[in-house]
Structure 1
Amino acid sequence: MTLLIFFVYYGKIKMHEPKCHEEHLIPYSMVQPIQVMTKRPVIFSPSLLSRGLIERLLQPAESGLDFNTCQPELIQATERNDKSVFLLDASTPEQALGISLQSIQDVISQDKHCLLELGLSSVEGLLRQGVYPIVINIRPKNKKHKKLKKLLTGRGEDGVMEEVCQADEQKLETLPLLYHTLEPSTWSCTEDLLLAIRNVIHSQQKALLWVELERLQ
């Protein structure tokens, strides 16, 4: 059920420059509260961690009761502009991998959270389709990302990881919905991180969602 109440808040965009750091305020953004009754899919930031996190979260037998995933599929050139198809950040013109809206909805219909390998660039498109993802931002403990290397599944080096983290920080501040950040102080090992993620998913599912609907019109 959607509540007909509006709330005004200030947001920040963090601009990352090679030798400086600036913050700019967005004057006003109108957001609307939405109570999502179905299980919300989950998007992780940085997206390089998604595959490793999904594999770990699905490992325990009991996780199958709450979580499932959609395997990325090869998307034909004629389908790449389809608004019901969401491309992975790692896609290339030669090999575009993506996930269809129908696949996500199939998992939702199972009353499970769909753990997605999609990046932040897919969030707005999902919202336009009436799908409200939980966005979880994981801040690394240090620039060497040692604690997260187990989750990279051979897909990224330190330099690439640093670039992705910086790019995602900027994208996060422009999302039309609120997201949750897991600070480095909240976890000390992979097991702690997975537990923290599960707790965030369950708490965010119960929480009221605030969405900047004007951006989606």
Structure 2
Amino acid sequence: MVRRAVLAFAVTAALAGPASAAEPPPPVTAQDHVLGQADAPVTVIEYASFTCAHCAVFHNDVLPAFKARYIDTGKVRLVHRNLPTPPANVAAAAAAVAICAAPGRYFDVAEVFMRDQANLRTTGAKPWFDAGLAATGKTREQVETCLNDPATRAALQAQIAGAEAAGVEGTPTLFVNGKPVAGYSLEALSAAVDPLLRR
């Protein structure tokens, strides 16, 4: 049942291409998934896809050090938003599973999907989704109900629309206090964040 609901979850909206005059990303709201303190002086917004190999590199190799240096010390909050990439139906379904997680468990699901992303090519989607579902903190029935809720699809489509308006062309794309960062390395992020902390 859950597997059918997960795999049937597809996003009908597609990126229309970069906006002619890109805007900053939409402001952070209560609907966003935030890692770090709400009053952190710097906000990093990440647009990512659970099927994007570069996003997995960022989450697995860069984020732990960035988190220790900036997020855990109260200097930065990280906002994770979804922008599904091919296979978009799989990425969208994974995003929906994360959105449906119990309060405080979104990043647990994200960590599992990014950590195990390579398994999609070896063991297929079912074990990958099963691991993500196990990290939600909800029963399979609760997740299935959430996946079938139009509000879940609307939440994901709002993230995609925000990415489009901000001119996001690929993942991962990171913004520091509303300004795009060239690259996703720890060095690139530090170069963008550190001057803001010295003000």
TM-score calculated relative to the size of structure 1: 0.28
TM-score calculated relative to the size of structure 2: 0.29
Higher helix fraction: Structure 1 or Structure 2?
2
Larger Rg: 1
Higher strand fraction: Structure 1 or Structure 2?
1
